[in-house]
Structure formats: structure tokens, C-alpha cells
Amino acid sequence: MIPVSPPHWMVGSVMGKCLLCGREDNTISSVIGVCVECLRRRPNEALSRAMRVHSEWRSRAKLPLEPLRTGGIQCSFCVNRCVIGEGGYGYCGIVSNSGGRLVLRPGLYSEKLSMHAVVSWYLDPHPTNCVAAPVCPANTGAGYPRWTNTHGVERGMYNLAVFFAGCGLDCLYCQNWEHKTMLTRRETIVSSSRSVEELVEAAMDPSVTCVCFFGGDPTPHAPWVLRAARAIREEARRRGLVKRVCWETNGIANPAIMREMARLSLDTGGIVKIDVKAWTPSVYKALTGVDAAQRVRENVKLVAEMWLEAGKPEPPLLVTSLLLVPGYVDLEEVRGWAEYLASIDPDIPFILLAFHPDHLLRDLPPTSKEHAVKAARIAKEAGLRRVFIGNSWLLGEWYNVD
């Protein structure tokens, strides 16, 4: 494990300083080194500084410093489109080049593992703290009787939470950052390698009503996870069981993959949950390490239009979420996303999530209640009808919002 220091906000208020404009505030991260205004107004200079932390971290974690561009076979699973050399692997740490063909990384160690994924799963009881909880059948009865057996909360039933290692982004605040370091340990990769058949068997537990693929992110495992999701759908149909297929994803997948993910959710009453990160491309890249803001917008629209074409069934096919990172995902970032979503359809659910310091971004406080309340108001003023605040127990009086 790469050591990470305790959050600074736990031991007192720390003032960060922007190295470009000199502004000081407790919502400016010294890890990033620049403020959000400089990221928006002076993106080239600001990103030159902000990207250093990504490179330093990934170098220590033995992961590619940036999406690869020359010297091998191109992977098309996500927006990064890495060109992977023999024996190497993509930015995600999962897709590798073995013998001139792209395989999932476990295949490097054993032919037996070539159809396996680096994945684990567990039972999460309903009602659960799912991003889509405000509109999910498990919590609300939405879609009854086709997609749930109850009018309300599915008490006594479970979500099968399927967690993947690997991700096409490098979020500084990743809540599950250990999945990155496990990819550098052969024994962990092999012990965490599971087959499609094992997952399907677990999903057929009668107490499981939804299967949610998250991580990390499921996208680097696209061939494996789509095969597994199809098998779960077909076996559930054969047995007459409710098995909603859901995704928690960063939204940077190849649109063809995203469309298939959404189709599987539409077929089963599941939900595609896309974490949109930020609106401004330079802010997005500073936080995630990757230039993917436009791809996320395209995939959000793609899934939303699939929902509209289907007649807007309940539960909604698409749920979007935005983490309110203090000082960076400010009200301007919220407004950008809210106006975009409302222009597609005002009924797209928008979940505003409270931030908790983690991974490398531990010198910022949690989200202030004022920040969340004003963000929700702005989203509604933009025309969205289903706006929710998530992780509200994290909110406090940490900072003021102008």
C-alpha cells in the first residue's frame, strides 16, 4: 500500500494557496496547487501544475502516467484509446497486450484466467445507500410489479454489489483507491480473479433483486462484464426472477459499450448511474487526470435518449450524480450540468453528493451544507424536477459559499 496522510481538516482548518493567482482559502487544495478560477481562465498554465500530482502518484503505483499513444495495439473500450505495447497494459491497469492481442490483465499470468476478471462481490441489504436510491425500485417500489415484487422498500432482499479493480480515470479523491494498488500485486490479481459462471450463480440467489457493477469501473472489463450481464438477464428470465442490472460508471466508455450497458438495464428495470465529475473540461481533467468531459456529455445524452425513445419508463434508465468537491465543483459547475440535463429532459434525476476527503485530496473539508443547498436550488432553477442531495450526513458548516 502507498501511505496516505490523515485528512488535514480533522486537525484544523488549513489554508491552501493558488500558485498562479496567489489566492488563499481553505477550499484551495495544495495538492492540486491551483484554484478553480485559474483552471477555468488559465487552463493551460493551471493544468500544467495540477497534472503533476497524477503523474507522481501513478509513478509510485506503477501505473501508466498517461493514456498511451504509440507502440502497439489500440484499445477502444474507453475514451483513452490506449495503444498498448507487447506485455504492457493500458491507463486503466487492466487491458493488456499479450501475444499481439488485447486481453484482460489476469490473462498475463495464466491461460486459465484469461476469461476471468479482477472482481469481487458482496450482498448489500436493501434499503441501500445506492446513488440512485431516491428513484430505485429497491427503495421506492418504482416499476412495480414488473421490476420489483413490493410496493415499497424491498426489505429482506439484497443488491449484489460487484466491485471491479481498474479504472480509466485517476480521480484524486477516489473513495476506493486501493483498487489501483492491488493491480500491481500478482497474488492479489490471481486471488481476485473470478469467472462469469461464478457471478451468475451468486446472482441467482433468490434474495438478490439487483446486480450493480461498480468499482473502480466496469468499463475496462467490458467483454467480461457484458457477457456476465447478458447471462444474468437470460437466466433470470428463465427462472422468472427479478434481477435488475445496474451500473455505476464514470461515463467514459466507448458509446457502443455504453449503449449495450444501457440496453441491459432497460431490459431488466435497472439503472445506469453516471458520475459526471465536473462541467468545465479543465476542472474535469485536474480532478480526474483525463480529458474526457465531452465523452461524458455524449454518453449522458445517449442513455437519456434511449430512455426517452422507450417512453420514459420507471424506474428512470439514467441517473446522474455530481460530487460537490469544495472549491472545485462549485455552483458554476453545477449550473453547467443542470442546464445541459434540463435541455435533454427535465426529469433526468440529478444527485448532488457530499464530498469526504480521501485518497490524495485530503486537504479539503467535507462539503458544506450551504454549498449543497445552493447547488440544489440552482439545479432546480435550471429546470430539473428531480434533484436530490446524497450523503447528507457529511454536510456541516465547513466553509461559506458566495
Query: Which residue ranges make up the annotated binding site for [4Fe-4S] cluster?
Result: 167, 171, 174
- C-alpha–C-alpha distance, residues 33 and 46, integer Å: 8
Helix axis angle, 196-203 to 222-239, nearest 10°: 40
CA pair distance 299, 256, nearest whole angstrom: 10
What does the alpha-carbon distance between residue 154 and residue 253 come to, in Å, rounded to a whole number? 31
Q: Answer yes or no: are the C-beta atoms of 287 and 327 closer than 8 Å.
A: no
The answer to whether 252 and 76 have CB atoms below 8 angstroms apart is no
Structural element, H or E, at residue 321: strand 318-324
The conformation of residue 126, written as its DSSP 8-state character, comes to S
CA pair distance 167, 275, nearest whole angstrom? 13
Give the torsion sign (CA, 106, 107, 110, 113). Answer: positive
Taking a C-beta distance cutoff of 8 angstroms, is the pair 127, 116 a contact?
no
Q: Would you say 97 and 70 are in contact if contact means Cβ atoms under 8 Å apart?
A: no
Q: Which residues are annotated as a binding site?
A: 167, 171, 174
What whole-number distance in Å separates Cα of residue 118 and Cα of residue 105?
8
Alpha carbon distance 377, 373 (integer Å): 6
The beta-strand segments (E) located in 55-177 are 73-74, 83-84, 95-98, 101-104, 116-125, 158-164
Quote the DSSP letter at residue 107.
G
